[in-house]
Amino acid sequence: MTPAIGPIKRSSFQVQKAAKEVKDKIGSRQMLTVFVTTGFVLCGIVEQSATVALLANNPSPISAAEFADYVENTSYITRYCQPPDTFNITDKNDSNRHVHVVLSLPHIEIPMSRTDETESVLREAFMWGTLVSPLAASRIAARAGAESLFGFSVLGAGILALLVPAAWLSPYHVALRIVQGMCMGATWPAAHMLAVTWFKPKHVSGFVSCYTAVNLGYAVVGLLGTPLVRTVGRDILSYAICLTAVLWYFLWWRFVEESLSPSMPKRDEHRNLPWRRLLLSGPAWACGVAVVGSQWADATLMLGVTKYLKLVYGFSTAHEHVLASLPHIGHFLAAIIFGFVVDHIRSSGIVSTTTARKFFVYISHFIPATLMFVLGYTGCDPAAPAALYTAALMLTGATPAGVYASAADIAPNYAGTVFGLCQTIGAAGLLAANYVVSEGLHGSFAGWWRLVFGASSAVLLITATAFMAIGSGSVQDWNNPETDETDSITPEIPELVEDSPDIDALIEQTSD
């Protein structure tokens, strides 16, 4: 044995030993959940990295003190709300009560800056990537394996960041953003296949709620990436993302693909997919339509409301990182809570699965629709729209517990494909919302904030109503198509996950 090979073998043995020790102490489901969650965090970081690098590299030309002076003297709310000390109401109970009064809602032209235009193009390119990949990725995951596709997708999105400095703001940069979006879009159906493979049907919601870790990635890159770019430079963010993705994939390969994948129950989703019955399925389309509403609301909240708070009420996300990041953290934490609550409800048998899914769709769609509509009529109090924005974004965290999990309920054997279809439809809604928000705030009808928020409320209400009418949490008959025995999907797969009292022990026995 050569001197160089000995240390490599010893190092490999130590890694394998560490992996076994971690596996012994942490359950297989918990390990998978941690890695999927961190993978989605990385995806969120990649998605927002261009925005952070662009805006942080082009800091505001005014200081925090100058911006405060702008808010005090020239912002919309001080120009079009009568100051409280000039409008007194005298009555027998309060002889000197001060109130704000809205004088008008004018037609203000708010042209997009060059930085805003560039950021919009890069964001839209990423959205196009998420549109074209989910359905195709679901078929790839069915053949190549969900764990392999998920790992390679996160790794691909991260490694492509290494090319961003060389392609910065060129047509190649736009192409990179499209491919990164395709990588992120591929993670959704792969994660859904992992959900129905590793988790009992009544425990799926908690795992699916981890998908909202994408929002946690938005907060992480905003809080850590912005000072990093301003201190070291724009390119360091791309290098840090690439390095983190490579490290994540190594751990994913070691602890998931190598340790868990050999014992994973095998699925045969790529055979005998009943395309016609899937495309004619009302519950499947109900999931897709509801995802459109959710994506539309998220786009309005994250793109429109933040600009509304800045331009109308004087909030600046460039100076207030809490406003930019805290709602995303709340969205993630609320989603986790909603996921565990609906799993508890289903396990307890309090209500049927369909009722539980529709209840959480009500929370994620109807209530935020009301809050967003009211947001445009909050008057002169700046705290009200900020609170409504945070509450609405948190409540949309119920979407995974309602809509996403329903896509696994109706067809566990084809969960990846159904969810790929839902995400494709949802991405189309995301692009439409992005256009409406951009035009509503900067285009021919700039300043009509109420129209933007009203449109989002209407979309939420319509899509939620559609799910309430035809959505379901019951397994559809096309989930087990009547085919020849040699071509049929293995029927034991759902029962294996459902009936096994301890899948970790089953995997341990198989490994031995």
Tell me the longest C-alpha to C-alpha distance in the chain: 98
Nearest-5° Cα angle at 488, 484 to 491: 130
Amino acid at 64: A
pLDDT band at 284 (very low <50, low <70, confident <90, very high): very high
Q: What is the pLDDT of residues 171-204, one digit of tens each?
A: 999 999 999 999 999 999 999 999 988 888 888 8
> What local confidence, expressed as pLDDT, does residue 486 receive?
36
pLDDT attached to residue 189: 92
- Which residue has better confidence, 232 or 17? 232
Determine the pLDDT at residue 460: 93
Q: What is the mean pLDDT of residues 114-123?
A: 79
User: What type of residue sits at position 493?
Assistant: I
Instruction: For residue 325, give the H/E element and its range.
Output: helix 321-348
**Helices (H), ranges, 253-320:** 275-279, 282-299, 306-311
Most confident of the following: 265-279, 416-430, 431-445: 416-430
Q: Residue 97 has what pLDDT?
A: 45
Count of Cβ atoms closer than 10 Å to residue 461 Cβ: 16
H helix or E strand, kind and range, residue 247: helix 235-252
What pLDDT band is residue 228 in, cutting at 50, 70 and 90?
A: confident
Checking if the pLDDT of 233 tops 50, the result is: yes
State mean pLDDT over 433-459: 73
The rounded percent of the chain whose pLDDT value lies above 90 is: 32
42-91 pLDDT, tens per residue? 999 999 888 888 877 665 555 555 555 555 554 555 555 555 444 444 44
For 410, counting Cβ atoms within 10 Å of its Cβ (0-12 exposed, 13-18 middle, 19+ buried), the class is buried
CB atoms near residue 216 (< 10 Å): 23
Q: Span 405-433, mean pLDDT?
A: 89
pLDDT of residue 323: 66
pLDDT computed for residue 307 by the predictor: 74
Q: Are 368 and 460 in contact (CB under 8 A)?
A: yes
Nearest C-alpha neighbor of 354 from the set 422, 279, 414, 282? 282
Q: Is the pLDDT score of 163 beyond 80?
A: yes
Output the six-digit token pair for 396: 């949309």
> Can you give the pLDDT at residue 508?
41
Residue 364 token pair: 């994620």
> Does residue 199 contact residue 384 with C-beta atoms inside 8 Å?
no
Q: What is the pLDDT of residue 87?
A: 43
- Mean pLDDT, the chain, rounded, equals 77
Look at the alpha carbons of 122, 123, 126, 128 in this order and tell me if their dihedral is positive or negative.
Answer: negative
The pLDDT tens digits for 244-276 are: 999 999 999 888 877 765 555 555 555 677 888
Distance from chain centroid for Cα 6: 45
User: How many C-beta atoms lie closer than 10 Å to residue 231's C-beta?
Assistant: 9
Break the chain down into helix, strand, coil percent, rounded to 5.
75, 0, 20
pLDDT exceeds 50 at position 100: no
